[in-house]
Amino acid sequence: NAGVTQTPKFQVLKTGQSMTLQCAQDMNHEYMSWYRQDPGMGLRLIHYSVGAGITDQGEVPNGYNVSRSTTEDFPLRLLSAAPSQTSVYFCASSDRGKGNQPQHFGDGTRLSIL
């Protein structure tokens, strides 16, 4: 059981380039989300989705775009990379059962913008 899989694990971009961070889960979870982790700031929510075709903004959505065409996949797009987007990005998923369910995280994508 793979859980939450993120690709790539590492990426270096130049300012202005675009790219897509991939996230896939095999647990049939309805809820998926993207966080960024920066030193001293914990994890901050970028975008989230409560099911296929439904997405919404989190705390720090600017410069990022998402879509959810299937239950399994939730890609994160950087439209025009900026040095401020250098961070570690984590995707998470959880079951939409009764009450809040704990979220399961992938191992992250380490992104550096030059």
Partner 1 sequence: QKEVEQDPGPLSVPEGAIVSLNCTYSNSAFQYFMWYRQYSRKGPELLMYTYSSGNKEDGRFTAQVDKSSKYISLFIRDSQPSDSATYLCAMSEPNDYKLSFGAGTTVTVRA
Tokens of 56: 């919404």
Nearer to partner 1, 14 or 42 (CB): 42
User: In sequence order, what DSSP letters do the residues of 48-89 get, joined into one string?
Assistant: EEEETTEEEE-SS-TTEEE--SSSSB--EEESS--GGG-EEE
Using the rule CB under 8 A, which residue among 34, 48, 64, 74 binds partner 1? 48
- 3 in Cβ contact with 26 (< 8 Å): yes
Residue 15 CB, nearest distance to partner 1 (Å)? 25
**Does 64 help bind partner 1 (rule: CB under 8 A)?**
no
The span of 14-22, 45-53, 68-76, 79-87 binding partner 1 (CB under 8 A) equals 45-53
